[in-house]
Structure 1
């Protein structure tokens, strides 16, 4: 099922990314009173966990710089309840999907079936050890098919992310180190220029690169060593393996049906860059 998990990630990820890339979600969160994009991001994504402290959100999200979460949590919830933020995220994400897909795809039987099957896969998967997945599972499932597809795709995305963090922890790769490995895997050099980490203090970045060199994962020029490339491959393989459980709950015929239903939807969303 590893190949299936990878294929499902490819099909569901563009649907999830409208939350972060499209204007509707940002507008809904701003209308609530969130002052910045990142206030809305942290408040709405962490909202399924309830009013937990910054340390808990930082642990669950894993790969943000020290102190970054604390700049937004819990202050983003002081005047805006978590429930309002997560509802705004759902409204905005569903609205962006409807706009991108148009009436034809948004109202198609294929989309309804894709929403039903992804919801089924998420609902029948154990939550043990999956904090963000469990948080999403605790939310009401929308009745509207477009909102339900976004909700179930995002729930499955958090399931995969929980497993990815477990794989990183098992490989002793921290959040900043994970960004370095991802940058190198994408062909970005120097990896310190990657958008997720380039803003970090130079001393912090230097310490991260030094630690990876000491472990033999990057060379003196900041490129992958063979060991580094193998470590990255092992993490991604483990992530796929840990992400397979939801799709094990579907029959082969249901999986084929789901993939066929998602392909035109994802193609349309991906063509816009999830915007």
Structure 2
């Protein structure tokens, strides 16, 4: 059944810290041990693996928000060190271990088992059309072990939402690097201060900001205009709308139960990042 947009956005906030343990140091170490040269090798090997041996141009298109050439520095090089199938296994094993470590005794609780079951039911129920990364992930086996199942379900839900977010960006005419500029401004920082794009050559980043300025989304000082804030608001609202179908399979009571059971798990996972 449909759920309120605010509830869908709250679910995103709960799923995110669970899914993103896959980008932690522990998972990076697991990939480095297998011959990856740096963090980004492991990132692309793990996240792109469900797409198989897709060329860099396809991964770039699916991931959407990397600058030109960034994906090609890692794909297909990583496939000379590890197969997609092996990368999937490493990512799942290391991510589940990282999540277990972050949430401590919650990993053994009946509430986690129930949360994993509800999240998994939602995660495999969503429509896959137009959701390339989600479809690749959904083709994988759902883990039996509860912590691994919860991480995998959270990852499915995150990438389902992410595919929808990319569609919302396309519909609003916002490119990948432009999206990072808007994200930076929403977080109260200038574009060059944002980690995902701050490393870009100054002229390249300036050209991106100039395009947004020409559209009236960024002001002369590089900050948000009212129009810029509004387009960012519309994109986020549309992203939540496009994420909603994943949860239609859950009743209102089940959705509320999943939210309640994820709250302490997500809080523990998020708090551990700051340790």
Q: Same fold by TM (over 0.5)?
A: yes
Question: Are 1:168 and 1:174, in contact at CA under 8 Å, matched by a contact in 2?
Answer: yes
Q: 1:17 aligns with which of 2, 20, 43?
A: 20
User: Contact between 1:91 and 1:147, CA under 8 Å: does it hold in 2?
Assistant: yes
Match of 2:41 in 1: 39
Secondary structure in structure 2 of the residue aligned to 1:58: helix
The corresponding residue for 1:27 is 29
Alpha-carbon separation, structure 2, partners of 1:264 and 1:110: 10
Distance 1:257 1:176 in 2: 37
Cα distance in 2 for residues equivalent to 1:197 and 1:267 = 28
The alignment's TM-score, normalised by the length of structure 1, stands at 0.96
Task: Give the equivalent residue in structure 2 for 1:121.
Answer: 122
Q: Is 1:220 aligned to 2:220, yes or no?
A: yes
2:249 is matched with 249
Tell me how far apart the structure 1 counterparts of residues 86 and 228 of structure 2 sit (CA, whole Å).
Answer: 43
Cα deviation, residue 126, structure 1: 1.1
Please give the residue correspondences for 1:27-176 in structure 2 after superposition, counting only pairs within 5 Å.
27-102=29-104, 104-176=105-177
Aligned length: 272
Distance in 1 (CA, whole Å) between partners of 2:264 and 2:202 is 44
Looking at structure 1, the residues matched to 121 and 233 of structure 2 have their Cα atoms a distance apart, in angstroms, of 30
Contact kept in structure 2, 1:4 and 1:247, CA below 8 Å: no
After TM superposition, the runs of 4+ consecutive aligned structure 1 residues lying more than 6 A away are none
Q: Deviations over 1:43-87 (max 9, x none)?
A: 110000000100000000001011000000011001310111111
* Aligned counterparts of 1:164 and 1:141: Cα–Cα separation in 2: 24
Q: Deviations over 1:189-232 (max 9, x none)?
A: x2222111111111111111111111000110111111111000
Q: Structure 2 regions of 5+ residues with no counterpart?
A: none
Is the Cα contact below 8 Å between 2:59 and 2:71 reproduced in 1? yes
Contact 1:4 1:244 in 2 (8 A): no
Aligned mates of 1:192, 1:35 — CA distance in 2: 26
Contact 1:114 1:262 in 2 (8 A): yes
Q: Is the 8 A contact 2:60 2:66 kept in 1?
A: yes
Alpha-carbon distance, 1:24 to partner:
2.2
Q: Distance in 1 between matches of 2:44 and 2:81?
A: 15
C-alpha RMSD of matched pairs (Å): 1.1
Write the distance in 2 (CA, Å) between the matches of 1:245 and 1:171. 21
Matched with 1:196 is 196
- In 2, the alpha carbon distance for the partners of 1:176 and 1:40 equals 22
Structure 1 residue 3 corresponds to structure 2 residue 1: no
Q: Note the C-alpha offset of 1:274.
A: 7.3
| Gap change, CA 1:177 and 1:196, over 3 Å in 2 | same
Note the alpha carbon deviations across 1:223-267, whole angstroms, 9 max, x for none.
111111100000000000001111111001111111111111111
User: Is the CA contact (8 Å cut-off) linking 1:97 and 1:146 kept in structure 2?
Assistant: yes
Q: Deviations over 1:2-61 (max 9, x none)?
A: 11210110111011121112x321122122221211111001100000001000000000
Question: For residues 140 and 218 of structure 1, what CA distance do their matches in structure 2 show?
Answer: 44
Equivalent residue number for residue 233 of structure 1: 233
